[in-house]
Amino acid sequence: MARKRIFVTGRVQGVGYRAHAWDEAVRLGLRGWVRNRRDGRVEAVVEGNDTAVSEFAKWCEAGAPAARVVSVDVSDDASGEALGAFEVRPTT
């Protein structure tokens, strides 16, 4: 079981990135969430089997068709937050 926090930088807001991330996470059977950040990045926390989490992180490098990803920062998440079905959260 893997759990990662991911920050995506670039033109990733206003291009359907969160909706596409939700589709991909659900397809991969992941738990967690995705949200826009006020600084222009997209943030996600994902949890699932190692392969699915790795595939999601790889997907983040391209993201939504209209997105222009500049960088993806992936780190272990030790927040201890209980995660349920993947969801899109409000901007923070």
Residue 83 near residue 25, CB atoms below 8 Å: no
Output the CA–CA distances (angstroms, integers) from residue 6 to 13, 83, in the order listed.
15, 15
Q: How are beta strands 2-11 and 42-48 bridged, if at all?
A: antiparallel
Which pLDDT tens digit goes with each residue over 8-18? 999 999 999 99
The Cα 66–Cα 26 span in angstroms is: 20
Residue 26 near residue 86, CB atoms below 8 Å: yes
Domain coordinates of the chain in residue numbers? 2-79
Helix 50-60 / helix 17-28 crossing angle, nearest 10 deg? 160
Which pLDDT tens digit goes with each residue over 31-48? 999 999 999 999 999 999
Q: Which are the catalytic amino acids? A: 18, 36
Q: Write down the CATH number for the domain with range 2-79.
A: 3.30.70.100
